[in-house]
Amino acid sequence: MKIPTEPIGSIPRPVYLTNAMRAFAANQITHEELLSAQDQALIDTIRQFEETGSPVITDGEQSKSSFVTYPLEGMVQLASDGIVIPFADGHTRQLPRLTGGRFKYSIHANRYLNKAKAYTTLPVKQAVISASALSLLYPADGIAGYPRDQFVADLLDEAESDIRMCLQDGAHTVQIDFTEARLAVKLDPSRALLRMLIDLNNQVLDRFTAKERIHIGVHTCPGGDHDSTHSADVDYADLLPDLFNLRVSNFYLEYAAEKNKKDILKLIRRLIKPSQRVYLGVTNVLNPRVESNEEICDLVQEAASYISPDQLGTTDDCGFSPFADDVSTAREVAFAKIKARVEGTALAESKLG
């Protein structure tokens, strides 16, 4: 029984790249020098990805400063005082605030995809940010001359284009990063906010055929950043019943760091539809200890006793560095964990027959 395995996305940047990003932000180096550092990091990332034996790779998000805001790079109608996201260790991230329309991506994700494909013959997976996350840029008190309904219409068009261009350019899969899902339950335990965000994402997904959606998935986690999270205290039982209403074929779920694993497996078994596959995280990206092949094999085998193996896959709990300044995980540790995931999944395959 073949069990597919895929990464989530980001890999910690090498020191020379994080230094170059800081220097460029401070106007100390040219854009060409920044691009050179990014290209060097991309080539090295792909080489190390290939050495792990991973059947599917990503670009490691080496040239993104943030997995959330890549479409906004260079956009002028933004202010810095948007929604603040608190993490358990006390640090925060702040989204920008949209100040005017019309809303249009400055960068689409296929730019990263095509750059990566130039350096590898392996299938390349591409992550995109959810429409629901970017909907949070619109201020609660509105924007003069740019009503929210028009913003949402523009946002849906752009989110569709982001996914469609990646599919057209040959992405192995397109993963929608929906890490705000669990946070939405924390902010609003009634789940009305979560359901609103899911509805927004489904409005994008409904623009794709069933055949196209085979290559589209959604990732959710409690928001790993600097070895902390924003919503790990939210029970999966309060999230998954609504999450599985997303009209995608593939779900990439944080799992290795969860404590009540058997309850989660029972819940997934009840919720998963015949056309869906769940990729369970089998490497804990917040723990520097590299899992053994046998540990990962055991996780997969246990999961296969609850979920049909032909609906099961493996992944990492989250990206290893969703924000460029997150250096809490060493680059070599990230690749070691990926290698363990690949080999541990293969070991489980052999034991499951």
The structure tokens listed for 293 are: 């092949």
Query: Hey, how many other C-beta atoms are within 10 angstroms of the C-beta on 337?
Result: 27
What pTM was estimated for this model as a whole?
Answer: 0.96
Please give the domain boundaries of the chain with CATH numbers for all domains: 15-352 (3.20.20.210)
Closest to 61 (Cα-Cα) out of 160, 127, 131, 129: 127
pLDDT in tens, the chain (353 residues): 699 999 999 999 999 999 999 999 999 999 999 999 999 999 999 999 999 999 999 999 999 999 999 999 989 999 999 999 999 999 999 999 999 999 999 999 999 999 999 999 999 999 999 999 999 999 999 999 999 999 999 999 999 999 999 999 999 999 999 999 999 999 999 999 999 999 999 999 999 999 999 999 999 999 999 999 999 999 999 999 999 999 999 999 999 999 999 999 999 999 999 999 999 999 999 999 999 999 999 999 999 999 999 999 999 999 999 999 998 999 999 999 999 999 999 999 999 98
Inter-residue contact 225 to 177 (CB < 8 Å): no
d(CA 136, CA 95): 8
d(CA 248, CA 83): 28
The residue count for the chain: 353
| C-alpha separations of 340 from 2, 197, 262, 331 in Å | 17, 34, 22, 14
- What is the enclosing helix (H) or strand (E) of 31? helix 31-51
Chain centre to alpha carbon of residue 49: 17
Closest to 52 (Cα-Cα) out of 5, 13, 1, 102: 5
d(CA 187, CA 193): 8
- What is the enclosing helix (H) or strand (E) of 19? helix 15-25
**Pair type for strands 250-253 and 216-220:** parallel
d(CA 345, CA 54): 11
> Who's near 40: CB < 8 A, 6+ residues apart?
16, 17
| Residue 218 backbone phi and psi in degrees, to 5 | -130, 140
- What is the enclosing helix (H) or strand (E) of 278? strand 277-281
Q: Can you name the residues that pair with 94 across neighbouring β-strands?
A: 84
d(CA 79, CA 72): 12
